[in-house]
Amino acid sequence: MNHPEIILIFARADNGVIGRDGRLPWHLPSDLRRFKALTTGSPMIMGRKTFDSLPGLLEGRRHIVLTRDAGWQEDGAEAVGSPEEAIRIANAPHIAVIGGGEIYNQFLPVADRIELTEVHLDAQGDVTIPAPDPTEWREDARQDFPAEGSRPAYSFVTYRRRGGK
């Protein structure tokens, strides 16, 4: 597999927050359904903290965990020590990178697409990432959804790398 499509998948508040205490700072069922649709059937690359935050193994997906701890292992997870090793063992046409912030930053230079849920609020959190740089990324698709009850407004946005491979 020479050049898989690498897709960063994340939800981000307007102020850049993507997580708080190892969890999402909001609950959007439609975002969780979209995440499942985007990742089912694909290998997912994630950091160990993201793996630990999952409710369990996610059915129909490989769990490739990038960790500095060479001795780390967990049932159902494939531990790797570098982004290059993660891509190599994924050996798939499409690879989903699902977090956290440090992992996104490691894969951003080689990513082809970003599937972003913009959560329209300023959230409290301890993990942030910047918005996609418009000089590197072009918006390809957008669906906007209004706030409902206690749930904030949000948008599903697809970005593709400018001059993509």
* pLDDT tens figures, 106-161: 999 999 999 999 999 999 999 999 999 999 999 999 999 999 999 999 999 999 99
Q: What is the pLDDT of residue 142?
A: 98
**All domains of the chain, ordered by start, with CATH?**
5-134 (3.40.430.10)
Within 10 angstroms of residue 159's Cβ, the number of other Cβ atoms is 23
Please give the model's pTM, rounded to 2 decimal places: 0.95
Question: If you average pLDDT over residues 76-94, what whole number do you get?
Answer: 97
* Stated length of the chain: 165
Using pLDDT thresholds of 50, 70 and 90, give the confidence band for residue 2.
low
Comparing CA positions, the residue from 88, 115, 104 lying closest to residue 34 is: 115
Q: What is the pLDDT of residue 3?
A: 85
- Mean pLDDT (the chain) is 95
SS (H, E, C) 96-160: EEEECHHHHHHHHHHCCEEEEEEECCCCCCCEECCCCCCCCEEEEEEEEECCECCECCEEEEEEE
8 pLDDT exceeds 60?
yes
